[in-house]
Amino acid sequence: MRYGPDFSPVEISRAEGAYIYDSSGRAILDFTSGQMSSILGHCHAEIAQVVCTQVRSLDHLFSGMLSAPVLELAEALCELLPPGLDRVLLLSTGGESNDAALRMAKLFTGGHEVVALSQSWHGVTGTASAASYAAGRSGYGPHAAGAMAINAPNAYRPAFGSVSGADWRAELDYGFQLVDRQSAGALAAFIAEPILSTGGMIDLPVGYLAKLKQHCSDRGMLLILDEAQTGLGRTGEMFAFERDDVVPDILTLSKTLGAGLPLSAVITSAEIEARCHELGYLFYTTHVSDPLPAAVGLKVLEIVVRDKLASRAARLGEHLADGLLAIKEQHDCVGDVRGRGLLRGMEVVLDRELKTPAPELGSRITARCLELGLSMNIANLPGLASVFRIAPPLTIAREELETGLAILSEAIAIETNAV
């Protein structure tokens, strides 16, 4: 069954480190860490050992039972996070964790209205899909009542001000003026990614999260941050929100927490958890608090901290950014390079001055990269942008980064000369 865009034309048979291998044995450098998840690279030896050991002793339980891996992972997460994020719920996927977080926010506040950014992506399940605006909204009937969006602050394509002086503060204030006019008086939460990945790799400017949280506090809303792709070191800090010195009311983690295996978390304060429990909070799933993925997550945290992968991502991220900027200098179809750490975006355009999106060119470059031995992903947003999402493993070697950059430049050269 086709569940999205076309499938890749290659069949993958195995993976190791920063490479995946097709059925013919050809090596393909992975610049997306699988689905932006495998931050330790593919088939990490220590992760494989944990899976083998844990599956022989305790893999799955009745949802109301707890185990040592679950308790230890919850404690380890709380130790890494600031006060106010000290209660943990372990689930399987990002969409599921966002559904659980939104359900909690609605119960805690008594409201039902949820606001998100206009190019957001929080999943395709339930209320997460209602808060996702980058793609997949049409054709499925009504979304959850109370779903609203405000404009995402895009410094490359600013809606307020100019590129040299994008006024994100005025844009945010105006967005909340519209929210106030639309609200039925039942605002529950604002959910946001620190870097909107599927929505075009839009990095929220410094100060945005602080002002966003103030708007939420003024209205009795909870701020939910979705760090599915930015969590656990990818941006150069353990969590992306740390750059802004802002603590969300609820934090969701997924993708990177399991390093490629299905594991997610909802993390909030003792106060919010206690009140929701009093009100009868319910989010049972078949795999809530499963010991096998929890054991994996615990080992992922150990490795990220032990091997200082956040600081490594910061260093290698600068090298990656320099390489992408060099490609921009070489090729007129590259309009912008942005992002943090080892989570970068490169926007492809037909005309730099007009910033005309180039989805067909981007798709051709993607296909050519794969042919040359590099797995890339482009987010084509109809009428808005065509942006390569670049997220290699945090364990990638500098030489492997250079190999990928060389292939990307070659692919662009071939496809632009072919026009």
What residues are annotated to the active site? 121, 193, 226, 229, 255, 389
CA 207 to chain centre: 20
Tokens 């050992």 label which residue?
49
Q: Write phi, then psi, for 299 (nearest 5 degrees).
A: -70, -35
For 46, other C-beta atoms within 10 Å of its C-beta total 14
For residues 265 and 254, the answer to whether their CB atoms sit within 8 Å is yes
CA 372-357-387 angle, to 5 degrees, is 50
The whole-angstrom separation of Cα 92 and Cα 228 is: 12
What are the counts of helices (DSSP H) followed by strands (DSSP E) for the chain?
12, 19
CA atoms within 13 A on the CB side of 275: 11
For residues 115 and 189, the answer to whether their CB atoms sit within 8 Å is yes
Contacts of 243 (CB under 8 A, 6+ apart): 206, 235, 237, 340
The whole-angstrom separation of Cα 388 and Cα 376 is: 7
What is the side-by-side strand order in the sheet with 343-348? 334-340, 343-348, 385-390, 377-381
